[in-house]
Amino acid sequence: MARRTEFVTYRPKTILNRHKRPDHWFWTRYTAYPYKGCQHKCLFCYCREKKYCPFDDVDDFGYVVKVKENAPELLRRALGRVPVGMIATGDYQPAEKTFEVSRRMLEVCLEFGFPVSILERSPLVLRDLDLIKEIDARAPSVVFFSLISAPDSPTYERVREMENLAPKMERRYAAMEQVAKAGILTGISMMPILPGLCDTDENLEATIRATAEHGGTFVVAGGLTLSDQQREYFFGVLRDRFPDLLPLYERMYPHPTASYGGLRTGDPHTIGRRICELCQQYGISDRMPRPIIPGDKRGLNKRVVEALANECYWMELDNAPKQRAWAYRKAAWAIEDTEQDLGLIYRAMGRKGLESIENVGPKMVEVIEGLIKELSRV
Ligand code: SF4
C-alpha cells in the first residue's frame, strides 16, 4: 500500500536564522521556514543529506511534514530585534493549503517591513500574491522558481520524472509570468543542473529562453551535490529508473562522503560560461539583481558590493587567478560591513577615505572609485 503523508505539528523554540552578512547569490540575510520535510519528494533533493535531513530515517523525507505551528509568533518576536534585511521564507508544498503558516509569516514580514525572498517549485505561491505585492511596495522582494528544464527541452520528460511530485514546469513558468506582471522581481534558480539531463546545450537554451519569455529576468545556476545517505538514495534511484545515467554519475561522484557543488561537467566553468552567454542572448542576467529598499542610506554601498560580487563570480568562471577574485570578494565583504555611506566617505576624503576600509588596497580603490562614479550617475 502506498505510504500516506503524516503531518506533525510542533512548537520550535526559534525560527529565524541570521547570517553574518547577505550571501552573494541570493542576497538573503535571514532564513525562516514554516515546515520541515517536503511533499514534492524530488529524487535529487539535497535535503536528504545527513546535515540537512530533519529525520533520522532518510525514507521519512517526503512522507513526514513537521509543521512549525508557532512560527508567526516566533517571527514577530525575532523581527522586532534585528535590523531589516532580506528573509528567505515561504514554502508552498501542499501542506500550506491546510496550515497556511507561510502566509501568516508573510503577514509578519509586512508588519515589520522586511523584504522577502521566496523560491518555489509550486504555483500555490500565487495565492499570496496580494500580500507579496504589499511587502514588495515597501521593501523590494523576489519570488523565483526552481526550474532546471523547459517543456521544449529534449530531456523534459526525464527531468520531470526526477522532480517526482513537484507541480508541472508549465505551471511554474505560468506562475512566473503572473509574478512578473505584478511587477515583482522574478527569475529562476537552475539548481541542480543534473549531469546528462540538464547540462546539454539544448536544455540550457530551452530553459533560459522559457525564463525570458515568461518575464523572468535572471538565472542563478548551480550543480548537483551528492553526499552520504543522499548519494546512496540517489544512486539507488539511478540504478532502478535511470540505469543509462549511472556510469556517468559514478565517474563524477566517486566518493561516498564528499559533497560536490559547482557546475561539474569537464571544465567546471564551461556550463556557467554558456549560461552567461545564453542569458546575454536572451536579454536577462546570470546573476540575481540585489533588491534594495528605496532611500536606504547604504544603498550605494550595496550596489558596489553587488558589482564586486558579480565581477568575482565572472572572474571565477573565466579561471582568473584565485587571489584576484578573492580581492574582490574580500572588498565586497568589507564594504558590506561599512556603516558609513561610501559616497560620503569618498566626497569627504577622496581615495584616502576608501583606502581606510579594511581589505581595500590601492588597486581596489580604483575599481571602487569607478563604481561610485558610475552608480552615482544612475
Ligand atoms: S521542492 Fe524538491 S528540491 Fe525543493 S525541498 Fe522539496 S523535494 Fe527538495
Q: How far is the CA of 259 from the centre of ligand 1 (A)?
A: 18
Q: How far is the CA of 303 from the centre of ligand 1 (A)?
A: 31
Q: How far is the CA of 39 from the centre of ligand 1 (A)?
A: 8
pLDDT of 3: 85
By alpha-carbon position, which residue is closest to atom 4 of ligand 1? Answer: 45
| Between 228 and 100, the higher pLDDT residue | 100
Q: Which cell numbers in the block locate residue 74?
A: 516566533
Q: Which cell numbers in the block locate residue 198?
A: 540538464
pLDDT of 244: 97
Choose the residue to mutate in 5, 35, 42 for probing ligand 1, maximizing ligand atoms within 8 Å of C-beta: 42
Determine contact, residues 332/305, Cβ cutoff 8 Å: yes
By alpha-carbon position, which residue is closest to atom 5 of ligand 1? Answer: 38
Q: What is the pLDDT of residues 82-106, one digit of tens each?
A: 999 999 999 999 999 999 999 999 9
Q: Is 117 helix (H, G, I), strand (E, B) or coil?
A: strand
Q: How far is the CA of 234 from the centre of ligand 1 (A)?
A: 14
pLDDT of 261: 53
Locus of grid cell 546545450: 201
| Between 1 and 376, the higher pLDDT residue | 376
Find the mean pLDDT for residues 177-185.
98
The whole model's pTM is what? 0.95
Find the mean pLDDT for residues 164-179.
98
Q: What is the pLDDT of residues 302-333, one digit of tens each?
A: 999 999 999 999 999 998 999 999 999 999 99
Find the mean pLDDT for residues 147-151.
98
By alpha-carbon position, which residue is closest to atom 2 of ligand 1? Answer: 42
Q: How far is the CA of 194 from the centre of ligand 1 (A)?
A: 14
Cα 210 to Cα 187: distance, rounded to the nearest angstrom: 10
Find the mean pLDDT for residues 220-238.
93
Residues in contact with ligand 1 (CB, 6 Å cut-off): 38, 40-42, 45, 47, 121, 166
For β-strands 87-88 and 116-120, DSSP reports them as parallel
pLDDT for residue 377 is more than 70? no
Cα 308 to Cα 367: distance, rounded to the nearest angstrom: 9
Q: Which atom of ligand 1 is nearest to the CA of 38?
A: 6
pLDDT for residue 351 is more than 70? yes
Instruction: Provide, rounded to the nearest whole percent, the portion of the chain with pLDDT above 70.
Output: 96
By alpha-carbon position, which residue is closest to atom 8 of ligand 1? Answer: 45
Q: Which DSSP string corresponds to 199-228?
A: SSHHHHHHHHHHHHHTT--BEEEEE----H
pLDDT of 35: 97
Q: What is the pLDDT of residues 256-314, one digit of tens each?
A: 766 555 454 455 578 999 999 999 999 999 999 999 999 999 999 999 999 999 999 99
Q: What is the pLDDT of residues 45-90, one digit of tens each?
A: 999 998 998 888 888 999 999 999 999 999 999 999 999 999 999 9
pLDDT of 363: 93
Distance from the first to the final alpha carbon of the chain: 62
Q: How far is the CA of 313 from the centre of ligand 1 (A)?
A: 26
Q: How far is the CA of 40 from the centre of ligand 1 (A)?
A: 6
Q: How far is the CA of 120 from the centre of ligand 1 (A)?
A: 9
Q: Which atom of ligand 1 is nearest to the CA of 62?
A: 7
pLDDT of 268: 59
Other C-beta atoms closer than 10 Å to the C-beta of 343 total 16
Q: How far is the CA of 372 from the centre of ligand 1 (A)?
A: 40
Phi-psi region at 50: left, alpha or beta (left = phi > 0; alpha = psi -120 to 50): alpha
Cα 196 to Cα 199: distance, rounded to the nearest angstrom: 6
Choose the residue to mutate in 36, 46, 47 for probing ligand 1, maximizing ligand atoms within 8 Å of C-beta: 47
Choose the residue to mutate in 5, 31, 44, 45 for probing ligand 1, maximizing ligand atoms within 8 Å of C-beta: 45
Average pLDDT value over all residues in the chain: 94
pLDDT for residue 1 is more than 80? no
